[in-house]
Amino acid sequence: MKSVRFVAVLLAVLALASPALAAREFTDDAGRKVTLPDRIERVYAAGPPASVLVLALAPDKLIGWTRHFRDDESQWVPKKYAELPELGRLTGRGSTANVEVVLKEKPDVIVDVGSTRETYASLADRVQSQTGIPYVLLDGHLETTPAQLEKLASVLGVPERGKELSAYASRIMGELRDGIAAIPMDKRPTIYYARGPQGLQTGLGGSINVEAIELLGAKNVAGGERGGLTNVGLEQVVLWDPEVIVTNDPNFYRDVWKLPVWNSVSAVRSKRVYLSPHLPFGWFDFPPGANRLIGLIWLSDILYPGTFHHDLKREVARFYKLFYQQEPTAAQVDSLLAEPGVSPR
Amino acid sequence: MILPRTRFPAGIAIALVLLLVLVAWSFTVGRFAVATGDVIRVLWASLFGEESGLARNVDAIVLQVRAPRVAAALCVGAALAAAGAAYQNLFRNPLVSPDILGVSAGCALGAGLAVLASLPIEAIQAFAFVGGLIAVGLVVAIGTWIGGRDPILTLVLTGVVVGSLFGAGIALVKYVADPYNQLPAITFWLLGSFTGALPRDLPATLLPIALSVAALWLLRWRIDVLALSEDEAVSLGIDAKRLRIAIIVAATLSTASAVSLAGTIGWIGLLVPHAARMLTGAAFARLLPLSIVLGAGFMLAVDTACRTMFATEIPPGVVTAFVGTPVFIVLLAVAFRRSQ
């Protein structure tokens, strides 16, 4: 991993140092060697995690989104970016993009961030040979966010911006890790991630949906088994008896206080159920991209009250300015944090 | 193997006793260990409106989780089996299942649209129910409009066509759904599960099922006549067309409420009436009650396995298929070899 990063940085430096070099080679996280044009001005992000990264690093190079911004989402990014066209997504999980439409936009590079397994590597190879456009595939795990930022910045030719954002991400994750390392295991709460309208879908250990929990050292009650998303029974949740519940579904958040059976779960009795904000991108789970960084700060205060003393409003304003290119107004931040379930009771 | 008519009351009594044993067993097992004595205390106390004096979560497990789940599994199994039995007699075909007229596809599309709009669970269930009714309503309307000499064949063909249209609708909904959040929710819904069954869901499910089963029971003699041949039915003064619609309405109501609660669960509506027919013959007055008891028992056994085997749930539709396929093959072999 380190050597890949080193090579990437080296290549970026080389590319900058010698503008005469017409093309440069980049080894992506799937181990694919991709020849990139010297200057990259137009980027097609193949999935939402890649869109988030490009928006943060070089928004003017972004040629479109995988789907249109909805009205409530578009007020969080500058208008000219929110109004970019919808081009569809090209990831393995159900592509909606029409390759001809993508080609018509003449991207210099296609970027995807997520799984680097064989399925996705072969998909990248196929699209690249079909379109003749270099396709870069980067690992999308939460803990590699700083590396993603630097690597993608070197691809896009904005290494300075990459360093700035990568340093920010490293600092946040480092501070959280250091703070949490000092917390004894028995002070770390058990947490259940409730998805779906009934809150009965959850992420097993190692699933991309619960990376924030694992990174913050809390105990995912469903982490005993490894896998992806799954259905669980109410009885099992009562048995797990989590101390904290995090959900992304406002309907479930509303219901959880009303249903008698949830009332026998510790998290509900002690009012430690939280709803993750989702504007313009989710804070906790989806898309599984750099957007989750602000969620880490939010969740760390929920899991370990009184440990970090974050000024959440300031952190939100800062993160949004850095990654979404527009500092939200105080009223916007207030509205985000005032949604029921977002702020600790 | 077929039970003589005079022995039928004894046979159904035995089946009912077995079902009761199964219900009792299902109440006492689960991921959360509750002693059998405590289960009885909680149920006893709730019957007489007293406090059980046990921990709150024990009360909640028995009354809010297991009781509605057991009830839901029984109802859904009974509803699917009853609808299957009615359809198999109506269409004079033992290979017909309750979703032959597109009710499951309609329910699935309704539910998918509701998930797409991020509606709460009650709305998802309501959308599913209405979707199922719309699909079957379309089939009946189109089938009637087409007419033809063989109304049954017209109905079945229209059902296939409308079912695949709704299937395409589901595919479209999944395609436009957000792949990180809505798509998994739709997929899980389509797989079916009793995990979210709550006491508040039961009235809306129980009532239509009870009404349709009662209607089928009242029509039991006429259904038998209709199963012989349509001409015979007409000569006996039965309005075949009306009767057909009544059966379709009853079977659709019960299937749609079952599917909107538990998702699409295959095999029960096909396998159980088939097995019941082998045990008691095709006379609807005996086939219906036996199908109901067997369907309820099979569904409950499957769901109990689904919720107890692992920390995570197994989709009941998968278990019914894994259990149903070999059982069905054996039944077929027994029936066909005997008839040779």
pLDDT tens per residue across span A200-244: 999 999 888 899 999 999 999 999 888 888 989 888 999 999 999
Enter the tokens of residue B16: 């009912």
Compute the nearest-CA separation of A142 from chain B (Å): 15
- How does pLDDT run across B135-163, given as a tens digit for each residue? 999 999 999 999 888 888 899 999 999 99
The H-assigned helical ranges of chain A are 2-17, 48-57, 71-74, 79-82, 99-104, 118-131, 145-156, 159-181, 211-215, 234-240, 250-256, 266-269, 292-303, 312-324, 330-338
- Who among A233, A248, A282 is closest to B313 (CB)? A233
Helix (H, G, I), strand (E, B), or coil: what is residue A230?
Answer: strand
Spatial distance between the Cα atoms of B94 and B85, rounded to a whole number of angstroms: 9
Which residues have CB under 8 Å from B237's CB, separation 6+?
none
Please report whether residue A344 resides in a domain.
Answer: no
Spatial distance between the Cα atoms of A122 and A117, rounded to a whole number of angstroms: 9
Question: Does residue A205 sit at the B interface (CB-CB below 8 Å)?
Answer: no
Q: In what order do the strands lie in the sheet with A190-194?
A: A219-220, A190-194, A244-247, A273-275
Compute the nearest-CA separation of B61 from chain A (Å): 6
**Directed axis angle between helix A312-324 and helix A48-57, to 10°?**
90
Compute the nearest-CA separation of B311 from chain A (Å): 6
Which residues have CB under 8 Å from B204's CB, separation 6+?
B125, B257
Question: Does residue B307 sit at the A interface (CB-CB below 8 Å)?
Answer: yes
The H-assigned helical ranges of chain B are 8-28, 36-47, 56-60, 67-90, 103-116, 121-146, 151-176, 182-191, 202-218, 220-228, 230-235, 240-262, 268-280, 284-308, 316-339
Buried b (16+ CB within 10 A) or exposed e, A254-288: ebbeebebbebbbbbeeebbbbbbbbbbbbbbbbb
- ipTM of the complex in this document: 0.77
Is there a cis peptide before residue A277, judged by omega within 30 degrees of 0? no
- How does pLDDT run across A37-65, given as a tens digit for each residue? 999 999 999 989 999 999 999 999 999 99
Last residue of a domain, one of A143, A173, A203: A173
Rounded to an integer, the average pLDDT of B220-248 is 84
Last residue of a domain, one of A113, A141, A173: A173
Spatial distance between the Cα atoms of B131 and A60, rounded to a whole number of angstroms: 45
Share of chain A above pLDDT 70, in %: 92
Start-to-end CA span in chain A (Å): 42
A68: DSSP letter: P
Compute the nearest-CA separation of B242 from chain A (Å): 40
User: How far is C-alpha B230 from the chain's CA centre?
Assistant: 27
- Who among A91, A233, A287 is closest to B195 (CB)? A233
**Chain B residues with CB-CB distance to A250 below 8 A:** 118
Q: Where are the beta strands (DSSP E) in A176-234?
A: 190-194, 201-203, 219-220, 229-231
- How does pLDDT run across A185-202, given as a tens digit for each residue? 999 999 999 998 889 999
Residue A143, domain extent? 2-173
Q: What is the CATH number of the domain that holds A272?
A: 3.40.50.1980
Domains in chain A, number: 2
- CB A86, CB A74: distance < 8 Å: no
Q: Which fold has domain B5-339?
A: ABC transporter involved in vitamin B12 uptake, BtuC (1.10.3470)
Confidence band of A23 (pLDDT split at 50, 70, 90): confident
Specify whether A143 is located in the same domain as A203.
Answer: no
- How does pLDDT run across A133-191, given as a tens digit for each residue? 999 999 999 999 999 999 999 999 999 999 999 999 999 999 999 999 999 999 999 99
Specify whether A20 is located in the same domain as A162.
Answer: yes
Shortest CA distance from B307: residue in chain A: A233
**Chain A residues with CB-CB distance to B311 below 8 A:** 222, 224-225, 232, 236
Specify whether A140 is located in the same domain as A255.
Answer: no
Cβ <8 Å between A94 and B183? yes
Specify whether A88 is located in the same domain as A127.
Answer: yes
Q: What is the pTM of this model?
A: 0.83
Query: What Rg, from alpha-carbon coordinates, does chain B have?
Result: 21
Specify whether A57 is located in the same domain as A133.
Answer: yes
Confidence band of A19 (pLDDT split at 50, 70, 90): very low
Please report whether residue A343 resides in a domain.
Answer: no
